[in-house]
Structure 1
Amino acid sequence: MTAASAPTRARSTSSVPRTARLSFLRVLRSELVKLATLRSTWWSLGITVALSVGIALLIAAASRDFGGDFPAVNAITAPMQFTMLVAGIFGAMAITGEYSTGMIRSTLTAEPRRGGVVLAKAIAVALFLLITVLVSTLIAVVSTAPLLGDAGIDWNDTDASTVPLANSLLAMVAFGLIGLGWGFIIRNGAGAIAATVGLLFVAPIILSLFTIGGEAWLWLVDLAQYLPMGAASTLTSGGAIENAVPVITLLAWPVGTLLVGWMILRTRDA
Structure 2
Amino acid sequence: MTTLPTAAPTRPASRPAPTSGPFAGAVAAEWTKLWSVRSTWWALLAAALTMAATAAQLAIYAVNANTDDDPTVAPGVVPVGHIVTGSLELTQYVVLALGLFAITSEYATGTIRTTLRCTPSRGRVLLAKAVVVGAVTFLVGLLLGGVGAAVAGPVLGEWGRAPLGGTLTDLVASAGYLALVAVLALGLAAALRGAVLTLTVLFALLMIVPLSLQEPAITVLTRIADAFPGVAGNHFLAGDTEPYPAVVGLLLLAGWAAAALALGRWALARRDS
Shift, 1:246, TM fit: 0.7
Q: TM-score, normalised by structure 1?
A: 0.82
Q: Who is 1:25 aligned against?
A: 24
Q: 1:126 aligns with which of 134, 141, 160?
A: 134
1:183-239 per-residue CA deviation (whole Å, 9 max, x = no partner) reads 11112222222212221122222222222xxxxx32112222111111121122256
Q: Who is 1:222 aligned against?
A: 223
Q: Structure 2 unaligned segments of length 5 or more: list them.
A: 1-10, 66-73
- Once the two structures are superposed, the pairs formed by residues 63-74 of structure 1 within 5 Å of their partners are 63-66=62-65, 67-69=74-76, 71-72=78-79, 73-74=81-82
Q: Distance in 2 between matches of 1:262 and 1:245?
A: 25
1:219-267 per-residue CA deviation (whole Å, 9 max, x = no partner) reads 1122221111111211222567862321211111111100121122123
The 1:266–1:70 alpha-carbon spacing in structure 2 relative to 1, beyond 3 Å, is farther
* Conservation of the 8 A alpha-carbon contact between 1:153 and 1:161: no
Q: 1:109 aligns with which of 103, 117, 121?
A: 117
* Conservation of the 8 A alpha-carbon contact between 1:122 and 1:180: yes
1:99-118 per-residue CA deviation (whole Å, 9 max, x = no partner) reads 12111111111111222111
Q: Who is 1:187 aligned against?
A: 193
* Conservation of the 8 A alpha-carbon contact between 1:91 and 1:177: yes
Q: Are 1:246 and 2:254 an aligned pair?
A: no
Q: Who is 1:86 aligned against?
A: 94
* Conservation of the 8 A alpha-carbon contact between 2:141 and 2:171: no
Aligned residues: 250
* Conservation of the 8 A alpha-carbon contact between 2:206 and 2:229: yes
The 1:154–1:45 alpha-carbon spacing in structure 2 relative to 1, beyond 3 Å, is closer
The more displaced of 189-198 and 98-107 is 189-198
Q: Distance in 1 between matches of 2:216 and 2:77?
A: 27
- Once the two structures are superposed, the pairs formed by residues 9-88 of structure 1 within 5 Å of their partners are 23-66=22-65, 67-69=74-76, 71-72=78-79, 73-88=81-96
* Conservation of the 8 A alpha-carbon contact between 2:206 and 2:228: yes
- Once the two structures are superposed, the pairs formed by residues 91-240 of structure 1 within 5 Å of their partners are 91-155=99-163, 158=165, 160-211=166-217, 217-238=218-239
Q: TM-score, normalised by structure 2?
A: 0.81
Q: Distance in 2 between matches of 1:189 and 1:248?
A: 26
The 1:69–1:253 alpha-carbon spacing in structure 2 relative to 1, beyond 3 Å, is farther
Q: 1:256 aligns with which of 249, 255, 259?
A: 259
SS of the residue corresponding to residue 43 of structure 1 reads: helix
* Conservation of the 8 A alpha-carbon contact between 1:49 and 1:133: no
Letter matched to residue 259 of structure 1 = A
* Conservation of the 8 A alpha-carbon contact between 2:142 and 2:171: no
Q: Distance in 2 between matches of 1:24 and 1:115?
A: 10
Please identify which structure carries the higher helix content: 1
Percent of residue pairs identical: 25
Shift, 1:127, TM fit: 2.5
Specify which structure has the bigger relative contact order, considering alpha-carbon pairs within 8 angstroms and separated by 6 or more residues. Answer: 1
1:18-55 per-residue CA deviation (whole Å, 9 max, x = no partner) reads x9896222211211121112222122221111111111
Please report the RMSD computed on the Cα atoms of aligned residues, expressed in angstroms: 2.7
Shift, 1:268, TM fit: 2.6
Q: Who is 1:268 aligned against?
A: 271
Q: Structure 1 unaligned segments of length 5 or more: list them.
A: 1-11, 212-216
Q: Distance in 2 between matches of 1:70 and 1:249?
A: 31
Q: Distance in 2 between matches of 1:145 and 1:154?
A: 8
